[in-house]
Structure 1
Amino acid sequence: MASDSPAQQPQRRTQRRKTVFVVIAGMLSLAIMIGLRIANPPFVEAVRELTFDYYQRLWPREYVPMPVRIVDIDDASLTEYGQWPWPRTRIAALVDRLNELGAASIAFDMVFSEPDRTSPGRFAETLDYGTTLDASRMKALLSLLPDNDTVLAQALVNKPVILGFATLADKSGGTPLAKAGIAFGGTDPKTILAPFPSALVSLPEMQVTAAGSGGISLSRADTGGVVRRIPMLFSSGTQLYGSLAVESLRIAQGASGILVRATGASGEADTGNPAIAAMRVGAFTIPTTAAGELWVYYSPDRPERYVSVKDVFDPAKEPEVRTALEGNIVFIGTSAVGLFDIRATPLGDLVPGVSVHAQAVEQIISSNFLNRPDWSEGLEILITLALGLLMVVTLLLTGPVPSALIGGVLAVSGVALAIATFRQSALLLDPIYPSLSSLVVYGTATLQQYIVTEREKRFVRRAFGQYLAPELLSQLEEQPDAMQLGGEMRPLSIMFMDVRGFTPISEMLSPEDLVQFLNTLLSPLSDAIQHEAGTIDKYIGDSIMAFWNAPLETPDHAALACRAALRMREIVRELNDADAFGFKAAGKPIQTVQIGVGINSGPACVGNMGSDRRFNYSVVGDAVNVSARIESSCKPVGSELLVSHDTADAAPDFAYLEAGEIPLKGKSEPVVLFALVGDENVARSPEFLALRARHEKLVFAWREKNVAAAHGALDACRAAAPPALTAFYERFGERLAAMEQDLQTA
């Protein structure tokens, strides 16, 4: 493989620097995004959970009738039996009735934590009986009636009833009475679960007679007030408890215990991060999160799930109520809005809190689970890393627009794949964060690329703003690589312009007037050069050095240089006619200004020359020296515009007259030069064609040293030449006379 040429190496270094900056920006933003994902702050988790919510909202679990019902303390029941709380005797009657109807288990989504204020004994203490004998007898009779809490406690005996408890964040509550034996395999769950300080529990006499005790608290990890997960297991630090859903399943199956599988158990890898993997309750296995929670897969809330307490006690509806409840797991809760047990679900619905526990049991029985395995976190981080790296690579290889299209396709594909896995396996994968991360990486890297590009443009504008036409400068800003820093060989057309007789002009002007004179002259001449895509190399006093075909390639550079020279000659004539310099008005001894322009075409070295802090984009080489010498020959030749043979060959359509072989300083052999007379239109005019035919005879006779023929041809040329060529042919006559004298003395 060929190595880079010296001219290509600076460009390669510039491109490498740009690549390094873009890569650093992209990798830094990617590292930040991955760090955020690992840290998992609340706002990141909220976005992810919102994505999971939309999975369920778009594709909810299909409702299939299961042996799970909710006995609802609804508004109709409150109208029938009075406001809540009801006397515990009514609750006891409800338990007896549900047991009679054949409920497999009866789970209360509530806590009976305070004594019933409507118990006869407590009610008797609140009455004012006065001092009458009848009043004392009434108080004694009320005190003999059974206590409502005792009635409920006795109603729970030998019935499949589970009482709920709610965990508290402080130690103001009590400790639930454990009812289930809980065994575990692997890591002890008590070392994994965060212990609750205390709990809101039912009265002790009820806990003793109840068959089960289950937690009704919801997950503290959910965001936005939406219930997505519920704990399946609770720990007091010394004792484990099942949730209300788990206990309802256990009691319904007649199971005495619960088995918990954690990391380190048979078949479970010990990753070093203790986690709960699953629970087994009788015939059912429940996959859980590492914290022992269940992702609830919701179906739309259906009236088939509910049986009103009013209907339970209605003899006329016994057949249909028995059909609905017999052999079912029954949850008792409330849908009455005034009792404030309403929860938001991922489906966007507001449902009674008891519905969450019932739906959890439904999906356990149907084994229709949402899956969020431990490895999903690592997979999402890996995908984030891969997409971020891919965005940086594609940006460098293809540019902003193609890489954006590729990133968009990948993001859409990732979302489609995540949706497909959810539809197929109910797998919860987050495609949004990796996609957003790749967008951030793309944006950061693109911004850095833009900054680098803008820096290059500023560099280009700073380096070339004074020397290039705005149109050419804009092209160069869009193609900075066209500028080879450090120098390269390239075919160029080089121009030197000088003011004829500048020394006498400077002597007759004050310094301020001299500066004004130069600005008045050089400004429009510079515009003419830039208008023809020329690059101004430098100003040297009264002189201008310019070149074409760098930094941007212009294949017709010789023609552009010639066209600029003709326009410069025209500008000087216009300035003289308008007395723009004020010489005529001031009565100066010099009334008009003349210029000389020399143009040569050939290979030269062009590039940034100087230091990193101070440089000049310039051109050096023999072609430059020749151009300067040609300009110096304008006065001896008598032409304002002279070009070399190479320039005339490169732009053949212009009007030229050969000036003959002219000796140039530094050249061992004379060089053929041409007077630039006019543009393509002049070259095609009959007058010029006639003049050129006569001029060719003059040049032929000159070369043959035929003095007589040369004089005749010179007279013919003078007769046909316009006034602008008078000086040109006068110099020809002088050179012819010198040649004739040389021939005579030889």
Structure 2
Amino acid sequence: MKVKPFKSVPAFIVAGVVLLVCLARVLDLDFFQRLEQLTYDMRVRSALRFPSAVATNLGFVFINEESIRAVADGRLGYRFGLYWPRQVYARLVHELAAQDAKAVAFDVIFGELRPDHPPVQLRENATMESDEFFAQQMLLAGNVILAVTREVIPPPLFLTNAIARGDISTDKDPDGILRRARAFRSYRTWHPLFRQVEADPEYGVDLRRARVEPRRIVLPRTQGDDIVIPLDEKGDFELADFVGEHLPPGMPPKAKPFTDERIWHMGVVLAARELGLDLERADIDLARGKITLPGSGDTQRIIPVDAEGYFYIDWCLPPNDPRLTQEAIHDLLLQNRRRLDGQTNLPARWQGRLAVVGSSAMGNDLTDRGATPLAPDMLLVSKHWNVANSLITGRFVRRASLPAELGLIIVLGLLAAFLTWRFHALVGALLVALAALGYGLLAIILYIQWRYWLPLALPLLGAMLMTHLCLVTWRVLFEQAEKRRVKSIFSTIVSPKIVQELLQAKSLALGGARREITVLFADVRGFTALTDASQEQAAQQILSRQLSGAAAEAVFDEQARDTLQTVNLYLGLVADTIINQDGTLDKFIGDCVMAFWGAPVPSPRHALQCVRAAIDAQRAVHELNQQRARENQRRQLENQARAASGQPPLPLLPILCL
């Protein structure tokens, strides 16, 4: 198959489209970003239909409506309203510790101490504050991870008795869908003296708006001048600036105004507990897009992140997944009561498991629900065990790098241009569609098997579709218009089949070639006699009517037009038969037609086609002469009537032969 030369105009069109699509990717335009995210969501849902390796020791202890009723109606041995005292969670910790759970991560925030809660009734009529009982059980269990956010941090009584803290913040994308998680956040803990200033409404200070400047800290106020706290070269402040010159004995004169602490995502903390990863020794390299978590021996995990520390959640364990151990909290609390009553041989479903404690109850502010790639309304607590599963299995969602995406855009754009330019419109469109379909299937397979995210929106809609449409538009507007012009010219001298062959030729150029052809010459007999007779009739008419000057010239012009019209009628008839037999009209020589077969398109039947054209021409002229003879008979009869009435006779039509 001959390949069409790629002309400069379509080349510029392809280059312009590809460059614009690449620019759209570099600028990360919101419209295309959302389209790409929609394709990602589709792949996430598709992957859920295929089996994948998951951690087998993840579980969810859920608080549902029945749990709320069980605690409220006294079936567990106590009655509490919706916002349970901490002793309820302490009993849960005790039970999970008794079953030898490896970790208990709370997706419930304990933001303050609650001395108003009823105390815990211990044996021998002893009591203990509910908060203290919770802290004691966390200390004894040694496996509790508490939830924190920037807005709410548990009090020191709880933090000091838990083994770790986990960030449970939710960072949704602009379209409201949770796709990513941040590996860690830096939490700033201010010195108690600064917190006292913030707590005093007279100062009107919000530490979240504090500015750390060289050698000082500026505390903006809602009213009045800002408070400026000087710092020394080590970044310490003078305590005397807050409490005066008389410091309590043993108190150092200076202290750090705050401490920054890295708090990891709850799912990361759970996985670190399972794998023995040392989060304190994490190697964070955001510039190169990775966080390395070392562990004992050769164990380590590398999290692929962006410049802000975000990574995509591998949503492979929805809340209803049977591979996820699930149990209602009131069932565990009931089992804990039986255990305290001395029952033995109790089940231990949670042995060695990582338990996430959260709410699934509807209609209260304890449950965090929202949109994920899997569903528009889903328990967002599931992000914790999905993140933990990624680290435990070592499988992460990896998106193609920016250079790789730009390369794909260029390659697919050029592929679409090649297919569009090389083949006819319908075939080219079909091939481009098949190529796009193949690339889309490849992207889906790569995600399902290896969680590799190939872009779809810009490479397909931008590079392939736009390149194809622009080239097709150019061909329709310019190339097809040129073909129509050429066809309109050649169709008067050659058959439509030969015109099509000429249009499909690689190039047309002046030159020569040796060919075997058959030539036809067709001459109109009696043309000279017809011309002489017409001239004589015109001269007689001028003499009889005594015409001169312009009037005489008008008579000769009319005679010439009639003669030329007659000859053109016969020659046109011959030319039509030549074209019908796929011949090529070479020239008209007066009353003669020259044509040939076998060029410019070779034909093994050129002689036969020429003979057939000659026979068809004779038949066509014979049929025309019969029509003209019948017309002349009608005119002769009419001329008799015209002579009787004194009118001039009608001229008879000349009859010619080949």
TM over 0.5: yes
| 1:456 is aligned to 2:482 | yes
TM alignment of 1:521-600, pairs within 5 A:
522=568, 526=572, 529-533=575-579, 547=595, 549=597, 555=606, 556-557=609-610, 559-560=612-613, 563-564=616-617, 567-568=620-621, 570-579=623-632, 585=639, 591-594=651-654
Structure 2 gaps of 5+ residues are 73-80, 120-126, 189-259, 542-553
SS of the aligned residue for 1:278 comes to strand
| 1:476 is aligned to 2:499 | yes
Task: Name 1:715's counterpart in structure 2.
Answer: none
TM alignment of 1:471-510, pairs within 5 A:
472-473=495-496, 476-477=499-500, 479-481=502-504, 484=508, 493=520, 500-501=530-531, 502-503=534-535
Q: Are the equivalent residues in 2 in contact too, given 1:232–1:293 (CA < 8 A)? A: yes
| 1:163 is aligned to 2:146 | yes
Q: Are the equivalent residues in 1 in contact too, given 2:36–2:456 (CA < 8 A)? A: no
Cα 1:294–1:438 change in 2 (3 A) is closer
SS of the aligned residue for 2:398 comes to coil
Task: Give the distance between the partners of 2:354 and 2:633, measured in 1 at CA.
Answer: 107
Task: Name 2:314's counterpart in structure 1.
Answer: 296
| 1:372 is aligned to 2:398 | yes
Instruction: Indicate the larger mover: 340-349 or 299-308.
Output: 340-349
Match of 1:217 among 162, 166, 169: 169
| 1:258 is aligned to 2:280 | yes
Task: Name 1:50's counterpart in structure 2.
Answer: 41
Task: Give the distance between the partners of 1:431 and 1:113, measured in 2 at CA.
Answer: 44
Task: Give the distance between the partners of 1:26 and 1:278, measured in 2 at CA.
Answer: 42
Give the CA deviation at 1:42: 1.5
Give the CA deviation at 1:359: 2.9
**CA displacement, residues 114-162 of structure 1 (integer Å, 9 cap, x when unaligned):** 67696479xxxxxxxxxxxxxxxxxxxxxxx987667656665565432
**CA displacement, residues 400-437 of structure 1 (integer Å, 9 cap, x when unaligned):** 56656765665565556556655654444457864554
Task: Name 1:310's counterpart in structure 2.
Answer: 330
Q: Give, as a single letter, the amino acid of the residue that structure 2 aligns with 1:246.
A: V
Give the CA deviation at 1:311: 0.9
Task: Name 1:726's counterpart in structure 2.
Answer: none
| 1:356 is aligned to 2:383 | yes
Q: Are the equivalent residues in 1 in contact too, given 2:628–2:655 (CA < 8 A)? A: no
Task: Give the distance between the partners of 2:400 and 2:457, measured in 1 at CA.
Answer: 18
Cα 1:575–1:54 change in 2 (3 A) is farther
Query: Percent of pairs identical after alignment?
Result: 19
Task: Give the distance between the partners of 1:231 and 1:320, measured in 2 at CA.
Answer: 42
Task: Give the distance between the partners of 1:347 and 1:588, measured in 2 at CA.
Answer: 97
Match of 1:71 among 57, 61, 84: 61
Give the CA deviation at 1:239: 4.4
TM alignment of 1:143-154, pairs within 5 A:
152=134
Q: Are the equivalent residues in 2 in contact too, given 1:277–1:292 (CA < 8 A)? A: no
Give the CA deviation at 1:310: 0.5
Q: Give, as a single letter, the amino acid of the residue that structure 2 aligns with 1:568.
A: V
Q: Give, as a single letter, the amino acid of the residue that structure 2 aligns with 1:161.
A: V
| 1:86 is aligned to 2:84 | yes
Cα 1:572–1:360 change in 2 (3 A) is same
Task: Give the distance between the partners of 2:285 and 2:521, measured in 1 at CA.
Answer: 81
Higher RCO (C-alpha 8 Å, min separation 6): 2
**CA displacement, residues 698-739 of structure 1 (integer Å, 9 cap, x when unaligned):** xxxxxxxxxxxxxxxxxxxxxxxxxxxxxxxxxxxxxxxxxx
Task: Give the distance between the partners of 1:441 and 1:155, measured in 2 at CA.
Answer: 66
Cα 1:394–1:354 change in 2 (3 A) is closer
Give the CA deviation at 1:580: 10
**CA displacement, residues 600-652 of structure 1 (integer Å, 9 cap, x when unaligned):** xxxxxxxxxxxxxxxxxxxxxxxxxxxxxxxxxxxxxxxx42xxxxxxxxxxx
Over alpha carbons, which structure has the higher Rg?
1
TM alignment of 1:576-725, pairs within 5 A:
576-579=629-632, 585=639, 591-594=651-654, 640-641=657-658
Task: Give the distance between the partners of 1:461 and 1:580, measured in 2 at CA.
Answer: 42
Task: Give the distance between the partners of 2:497 and 2:154, measured in 1 at CA.
Answer: 82
Match of 2:267 among 229, 233, 245: 245
Task: Give the distance between the partners of 1:321 and 1:594, measured in 2 at CA.
Answer: 123
Cα 1:390–1:201 change in 2 (3 A) is same
Q: Give, as a single letter, the amino acid of the residue that structure 2 aligns with 1:305.
A: T
Give the CA deviation at 1:309: 0.9
Task: Give the distance between the partners of 2:538 and 2:9, measured in 1 at CA.
Answer: 53
Q: Are the equivalent residues in 2 in contact too, given 1:538–1:546 (CA < 8 A)? A: yes
SS of the aligned residue for 1:287 comes to strand
| 1:441 is aligned to 2:467 | yes
Q: Give, as a single letter, the amino acid of the residue that structure 2 aligns with 1:359.
A: N
SS of the aligned residue for 2:68 comes to helix
Q: Give, as a single letter, the amino acid of the residue that structure 1 aligns with 2:331.
A: D
Q: Give, as a single letter, the amino acid of the residue that structure 2 aligns with 1:76.
A: E
Q: Are the equivalent residues in 2 in contact too, given 1:278–1:285 (CA < 8 A)? A: yes
Task: Give the distance between the partners of 1:29 and 1:577, measured in 2 at CA.
Answer: 68
Cα 1:219–1:576 change in 2 (3 A) is farther
SS of the aligned residue for 1:218 comes to coil
Task: Give the distance between the partners of 2:43 and 2:387, measured in 1 at CA.
Answer: 17
Give the CA deviation at 1:49: 0.9
Cα 1:349–1:62 change in 2 (3 A) is farther
Give the CA deviation at 1:45: 2.2
Q: Give, as a single letter, the amino acid of the residue that structure 2 aligns with 1:164.
A: A
Instruction: Indicate the larger mover: 393-402 or 48-57.
Output: 393-402
**CA displacement, residues 663-699 of structure 1 (integer Å, 9 cap, x when unaligned):** xxxxxxxxxxxxxxxxxxxxxxxxxxxxxxxxxxxxx
Task: Name 1:649's counterpart in structure 2.
Answer: none
SS of the aligned residue for 2:146 comes to strand
Cα 1:220–1:513 change in 2 (3 A) is farther
Task: Give the distance between the partners of 1:120 and 1:458, measured in 2 at CA.
Answer: 93
Task: Name 2:348's counterpart in structure 1.
Answer: 323
Please give the root-mean-square deviation of Cα atoms over the aligned residues, in Å: 4.8
Task: Name 2:369's counterpart in structure 1.
Answer: 342
**CA displacement, residues 550-579 of structure 1 (integer Å, 9 cap, x when unaligned):** 776773346525633552354244234214
SS of the aligned residue for 2:349 comes to helix
**CA displacement, residues 244-275 of structure 1 (integer Å, 9 cap, x when unaligned):** 122334567787743333449xxxxxxxx542
Q: Are the equivalent residues in 2 in contact too, given 1:103–1:326 (CA < 8 A)? A: yes
Task: Name 1:104's counterpart in structure 2.
Answer: 102
Q: Are the equivalent residues in 2 in contact too, given 1:422–1:428 (CA < 8 A)? A: yes
Instruction: Indicate the larger mover: 567-576 or 506-515.
Output: 506-515
Cα 1:236–1:203 change in 2 (3 A) is closer
SS of the aligned residue for 1:578 comes to helix
Give the CA deviation at 1:53: 1.3
Matched pairs, number: 515
Q: Give, as a single letter, the amino acid of the residue that structure 2 aligns with 1:296.
A: D
Task: Name 1:61's counterpart in structure 2.
Answer: 52
